[in-house]
Structure 1
Amino acid sequence: MRITVLTVPDCPNAPVVRERITTALDGRAVQVELVEVTEDAEAARWGMTGSPTVLLDGVDPFAAAGAVPSVSCRLYRDEDGRIEGAPSVTALRDALAGADAGMECCARAAPPSQSTEEQPSRRGTCPCAKRPCGRW
């Protein structure tokens, strides 16, 4: 699994999300890459809809429908509806479990023979259709 954290310069929630990711991983050895994004075009290329954005294998598991890529702050709601500057440990654990389940699914399936541009109906969805997937 690849975890990428996208942040704006001096984001006060970057250390918070990194700490929460470490806690959510429960000792699993996974590399976490921190990428600083400074321009809107770069945010659009990454799919960053505010800082911090967490990508699991290139997919934002917390993406809100209709969110526009931007170099800005991002807010998350925890399990009790409180607004925070980073996903909660519980939300991260759920997202990691979903990504692990998706990778098991994708590992059993053969990758597409054509590029995703040639298969727009399948773009971003793994064969089990349970979650967005960076492989498909």
Structure 2
Amino acid sequence: MVLPSKNTWIRIGAACGLLAVALGAFGAHGLKPILLENGNLATFETAARYHLIHAVAMLLPLAYRDRALCAAHFFLLGLVFFSGSLYVLAITDTKWLGAVAPIGGLSFIAGWAWIFLKGGVAED
């Protein structure tokens, strides 16, 4: 299995950050009437907040040795399953997607645990 390089991870993290800010702004302005009608504005805001936090968090392991890069994988999975499911739930009011969010939450937790356990010493 070929893993993405550190430069690729920087681009992925930057793209996730860009998307988090863009979706947050779109939710606050363009989608606000729909989200208020569905009663899902807070859900969308939660997705955007966790999305942005973990876009930045995906970049943290890059300062450490390769063994910490696994955390970035967990954070990316978390973004897809947690924030992704909440975005779709908030926009479409598809309630069953709420059951998908905990998978992403566990992925976020696993990423932070991986950094805690395997982080190691920063590279020169």
Q: What TM-score do you get using the length of structure 2 for normalisation?
A: 0.32
Q: Larger helix proportion, structure 1 or 2? A: 2
The structure whose RCO (Cα within 8 Å, separation 6+) is larger is 2
When normalised by structure 1's length, the TM-score is: 0.30
Bigger strand share:
1
